[in-house]
Amino acid sequence: MSKTLAMTFINADGKKTCIRLQNVKPAVTKDEVIEAMNVLITKNIFDTTGGDLKQIDSAVLEEKSSEELAVR
């Protein structure tokens, strides 16, 4: 199963914007996610249509599984 971290921020316009990272390590912690999000805000490396990332809104760890079906 693969895990994706969806990090949602508030930008300069006050709108939400989301950054997704795939293949996150299974044991990622809340503190690690908060630290990573703060680094993204501080380093200001992403452009959004609403301006710079200004604050953390939320984070979700999504888990996806798939199963191939033999149909032939």
How far apart, in whole angstroms, are the C-alpha atoms of residue 68 and residue 33? Answer: 32
Q: Per-residue pLDDT for the chain (72 aa), expressed as one digit of tens each?
A: 789 999 999 999 999 999 999 999 989 999 999 999 999 999 999 989 999 999 999 999 998 888 889 998
In this predicted structure, what is the pLDDT of residue 1? 73
In this predicted structure, what is the pLDDT of residue 65? 84
H helix intervals, 1-72? 30-43
5, 61 contact by CB (below 8 A) = yes
Say what the pTM is. 0.85
How far apart, in whole angstroms, are the C-alpha atoms of residue 70 and residue 36? Answer: 41
In this predicted structure, what is the pLDDT of residue 43? 97
CA distances from 54 to 9, 25, 35, 36 (A): 7, 26, 14, 14
How far apart, in whole angstroms, are the C-alpha atoms of residue 5 and residue 55? Answer: 17
